[in-house]
Amino acid sequence: MALNIPLTRGRAGAGREARRYPWRSICLFLGPALALYCAFIIVPVGMTFYNSVNRLQVFGASGIRYTYVGAQHYDRLIPRPEVTTQPAQMVAGVVPLTLAWGDNTFRLAVEHSLTWALVSPFLEIPIALLLAYLLYLKVPFARFFRFAWFTPVLISWVVVGIMFRWIYNYEWGIVNTLLRLVSLDALAVNWLGRLDTALPALIAMTTWKQVGFNLVILLAAISSIPAELFDAARMDGCNRRQILVSIVVPLLRVTIVNLLVLCFMGKMEAFAAVWVTTQGGPVYSTETVATYMQKRAFNWQTLDLGYPSAIAVIWFFVVFGLAMLFQRVLQRREIVEF
C-alpha cells in the first residue's frame, strides 16, 4: 500500500506534499504527439485564421504576397439580416427579415450542406435501427447479414462515387433499367444531371454507404441491453414494435445522439462524395461548402487563398458549434444506466 502513495494524485489531501513529476518521461512520451499535432493541426488552424483576414496571392511555387484586408471576406460571406415586408422573402415565412447574401454561390453551398446534414441522419439512423433490431431478433444468418451490410463502409468514396455514376446512368443505369422494367419510363431521369434530383441522389448514395456503419454500432448497443428488460416487457404484453419504441430507443439515447452528431458532421464536411460524382454541378445544385472552398482555392484561378480560408473559418464555427449544441441539448436529459 505504501507504494501507492507516490503514485496516486494528492490533490484532495490537505497536507499535500510537493509531488515530483517524472518530467523527462512526460516530455518523452507526450513530446512527439504534441509536436506532430502542433505542426500539422494547430499551426495550420492558426494560419487559416490569419489568412482569412488577408488576401493571399500565390506567385509560382513559393512566393505568396499578403495584403491585409480586415473583415472584408467575412463581410461578403456572412449574410446580413434585412427588414422586409414581402412575406415570400421572410425567414421561415413569418419573421419579417430577409437574409442578404453577398456571395450567392456560398449561399447555395450552405443550403445544400445544411440540407444534407439535416436530412441524412433521419434516413441513416432509423433505417439502421430497424435493420439492427431485425438482426437482433435472432434472424437466421444474422452474422452474415451484419458482415455483408458493413462492406460499403470500408470502400472509398472514389469507388462508391464511380459505381453510383453507373447506377444513376440515364441510359443503362440500374435505377432506370428497373424503372423501365416496371414501365415507369417517365420516372427514369438523368439522376445526377438534373437540378432537382442531383442532391437527393447523392444523399441516397451516402445513405447506402453509411447504413452499415450505424447498424453495427446500434446492434452492439442493443445487444448490450440486459435481456431481462426485454423479457419483462414481453411479460407485460409489449409487442416487438412497442419494445423497439419504448425500450430500445430510450435506452440507446446516448448512442443514437453520438451517431447523429457523427452523421451530421460527416455531411457538413462532405467533399469526396461530391467531387467524384458531380463536382458540385449541374449549375451548383450539389455544391457543398467543402467543394466550394476547394474550387475557390484551386480551381477558379481567383489566386486568393484568403477568401476560401474565411469560408473555412466560418464553417469551422458552424460545424463545431452545432455539434457541441446537439451534444448538449440532446444528451442533457439524465442517462438511463444499465
Partner 1 sequence: MRTAQGAAAASRRRTLALASRRLSRLLLFIPLGVVTAILLGPFVWTLMMSFRLTNEINNNPYGLPIPFHTYNYTYALLPAKPDLLAMGEAVGIWPEATAAWLDRAGLENGGFGFGTYILNSILVVGPALVIVTVVTTMASYAFGRPRYDFPGRGMVFIFVFLSMFFPPQITLLSLFQLTVTYDIYNTRWALMLVYPATAIAFNTYLLRAFFAQIPTEIEDAARIDGCSDWGMYWRVMLPIARPAVATTLVFNFINFWNEFLYALTLVTKPELNTIPLASWRWVGEYYLDVGGLAAGLVVSILPIVVLYLALSEQFMRGMTAGAVKG
Measured CA to CA, the distance from residue 252 to residue 297 in angstroms comes to 42
Per-position DSSP letters for 159-207, written without gaps between them:
HHHHHHHHHT-TTT-HHHHHHHHTT-GGG---TTTSTTTHHHHHHHHHH
Helix 104-136 to helix 198-223 angle, to the nearest 10 degrees? 40
For partner 1, give the closer residue by CB, 280 or 308.
308
Of 36-44, 69-77, 230-238, 240-248, the segment contacting partner 1 by CB under 8 A is: 36-44
Burial 222-238 (b: 16+ CB within 10 A, else e): beeeeeeebeebeeeeb
For partner 1, give the closer residue by CB, 41 or 187.
41
Residues 278 and 199 sit within 8 Å (Cβ to Cβ): no
Of 97-105, 118-126, 157-165, 190-198, the segment contacting partner 1 by CB under 8 A is: 157-165
Rule CB under 8 A: is residue 151 a binding residue for partner 1?
yes
Shortest CB 88 distance to partner 1, Å: 33
292's enclosing H/E stretch is: helix 289-294
Shortest CB 89 distance to partner 1, Å: 30
Using CB under 8 A, pick the residue from 112, 206, 290, 295 that binds partner 1.
Answer: 290
Residues 149 and 261 sit within 8 Å (Cβ to Cβ): no
Report the SS3 class of residue 100: strand
Using CB under 8 A, pick the residue from 105, 258, 300, 302 that binds partner 1.
Answer: 258
Using CB under 8 A, pick the residue from 162, 187, 245, 336 that binds partner 1.
Answer: 162
Q: Which amino acid is at 165?
A: R
Using CB under 8 A, pick the residue from 79, 152, 193, 282 that binds partner 1.
Answer: 152
For partner 1, give the closer residue by CB, 199 or 257.
257
**Binding to partner 1 in span 176-215, by CB under 8 A:** 177, 208, 211-213
**Binding to partner 1 in span 78-117, by CB under 8 A:** none
